[in-house]
Chains A and B, each alone.
Chain A
Amino acid sequence: MWNIIRAEVSYHRYIFLTFLAFVPLLIVHEMMGPAERIPPAIVIWMIVFLPVNTWVSVRAKDKRELQYMQMPVKAYKIGMARILMVLGSALASTAVYLALHMIFAQSAPLHLGAFFASTLAILFIYSLVFIVGDRVVGHRGLSDAKIWISIFMGFMVLGNLYLLLLTRRARRSGGEPPAFIRALGYVFEHHPFSTNLHTTVTVCVVAALVVLSVVSFTRRKTQFA
């Protein structure tokens, strides 16, 4: 499995490096603005992360996974490598953020919680994407799976952008936020990390989905369209 992860990282190193280059922007943002601006920055980071990582994981994925499946590697390890690549990207970003923060922005508050939350969100989304993809691969073919994954990811990215724009408009106008955002207020107040119990449940749900994504890979009916 580690050989596969090493190969994937080596194969996509320029994409990962380019992506990690976005992290210093968060630090700059953090140093320049008030602390409350950080969560939207993390959202922006996620918006960057999602399409980039989707591109990495879907790009010629069928052929790479086909190659792995032909080699003497346990199927579950290939499924694990797939989700670990996503986790690894998120953790690498967090590590870069942490290092840059310690070097350049020690006085600013550390927003590791936001990174932790966004890492969980990314794992949640990707596990779902992989599970949906695996099920579609089994029944409709890989080409269709790509279409479904693209649609799913498109909704996620556009949804995030929409929320960001609504929030920004509400802040600029100084008035009441739109009803949609107000309705979400309750959810935000009781967000998945508002209490220890909420956090534990969130971590458990994400962990279960990660495991399911591995099982789902091993249960693929076919590796072909």
Chain B
Amino acid sequence: MTKAMSIENLVRRYTGFQLGPLSLELEPGTVLGYIGPNASGKTTTFHCLTGLEKADGGSVEFFGKPNDPEKPAWKLDIGYVGDRHAFFEGWTGEKNLAFRGQFYPNWSEDLARNLARRFNLPLDKKAKSLSTGNRVKLSLVSALAHSPRLLLLDEPTTGLDPVVRKEVLDTLFEVLESGERSILYATHILPDISRIADELAFLIGGKLMLRCPKDDLLDKWRRISFRTRLEVPALKAVVEHLTEKNEHQVISADADATLTHLGTLGVEGIQETRMTIDEIAIEILKGGGHVEHH
């Protein structure tokens, strides 16, 4: 089956920073959360994917078509909302949408109007007079009105206050839940994406640290506590180990492996608690993702 997106050995170099080599695939219908701290290379990835920056190496394909700027048919399949919202500033939202619509055979004015209504976006205002939140909404409507098969969303809620952010996300996810499209959603705020993501990919310092189904993470990661007077060796799959006298608390990236190991050590009072996806993500971003998964 043709992948919705296929990145192979993508490299982009700057002075003091290198993205990649990055390889990542996305199956049709999958929602992939692309998680990383600030300056980890998320936005650079999106710029290279969309052709706004030329990569220094590697290849990118969308639904089997390379992202060649001279053969832009691949852009018909994607909707992109980036970190900068580019419009004709002196035109109304409606006119901006009409301009965009000329380039997409699948563009639906009805859908655009419907989305604008759901987002509570005033289309009669000039782009330059729109608030940050409304500019984001206009970008989202522009990205969705041609019903793309793949959505590339690069921190679309950056700069929004919590109330507007929630409003935008609630409406966006309501719209997205009704469709069978693939989504690559970059953010450093995990709660933004954790509710709809099927898989999570963690990017740190330009390198892909871990890519894993969300449910696998929830199943495997545990906070485990136990007691022992003996000295405890390095435990399997443990990413953090806190000790206070005889009380130990560890965070395990593979609870079964850690528990089996603990069983051989004869420790007492073992208790395990589930972790939220946000807690897991924080541990991974702190460097825990490098632990081998069993």
Apart from A70-B75, A72-B104, A73-B103, list 7 A-B contacts with CB within 8 A. A63-B84, A66-B52, A71-B72, A71-B100, A73-B72, A74-B72, A221-B53
- Within 8 Å by CB of B87, from A67, A73, A76, A218, lies A67
Contact B54 A63 (CB under 8 A): no
Q: Is the CB of A75 within 8 A of B70?
A: yes
- Residues B69 and A63 in contact, CB atoms below 8 Å apart: no
B89 lies within 8 A of A72 (CB)? no
Interface residues of B in 167-219 (CB under 8 A from A): none
Q: What B residues does A66 contact at CB under 8 A?
A: 52, 84, 86
Chain B residues 265-283 with CB under 8 Å of chain A are: none
- Given the interface contacts A64-B86, A218-B70, does A3 sit within 8 Å of B102 by beta carbon? yes
List, in ascending order, chain B residues with CB within 8 A of A74's CB: 69-72
Q: Which residues of A contact B73 (CB under 8 A)?
A: 72
Whose C-beta in chain B lies nearest to the C-beta of A223? B52
Please list 10 pairs of residues, one from A and one from B, whose beta carbons are closer than 8 Å in the complex, sorted by A's number: A7-B88, A11-B90, A63-B84, A69-B51, A70-B50, A72-B76, A74-B69, A74-B72, A218-B70, A222-B54
Q: A70-B52, A224-B52 are in contact. Are A63 and B70 (CB under 8 A)?
A: no
Q: Which residues of B contact A76 (CB under 8 A)?
A: 70
* Total A-B residue contacts, Cβ distance less than 8 Å: 68
How many residues of A are counted as interface, with CB atoms below 8 angstroms from the partner's CB atoms? 22
Is B47's CB within 8 Å of the partner chain A?
yes
Tell yes or no: A60 within 8 A of B by CB: yes
Secondary structure at chain A's binding surface: helix, strand, loop or mixed? helix
Interface string of B71-95 (1 = CB under 8 A from A): 1110110001010101111110000
**B76 contact set on A, CB distance < 8 A:** 72
Query: How many angstroms between the C-alpha atoms of A75 and B50 in the bound complex?
Result: 12
Q: Are B47 and A224 in contact (CB under 8 A)?
A: yes
**B141–chain A nearest beta-carbon distance, Å:** 14
B99 part of interface (Cβ distance < 8 Å): yes
Chain A residues lying within 8 Å of B54, measured Cβ to Cβ, are 220-222
Chain A residues contacting B50 (CB-CB under 8 Å) are 69-70
Q: Which of A11, A67, A218 contacts B86 (CB 8 A)?
A: A67
CB contacts (< 8 Å) of A224 on chain B: these are 47, 52-53, 84
Q: Which residue of B lies closest to A71 (CB)?
A: B103
Do A222 and B53 touch across chains, with their CB atoms under 8 A apart? yes
Contact (Cβ within 8 A) A72 B88:
no
In the assembly, what is the distance between CA of A69 and CA of B84, in Å? 13
Q: Report A-chain residues with C-beta under 8 Å of the C-beta of B51.
A: 69, 75
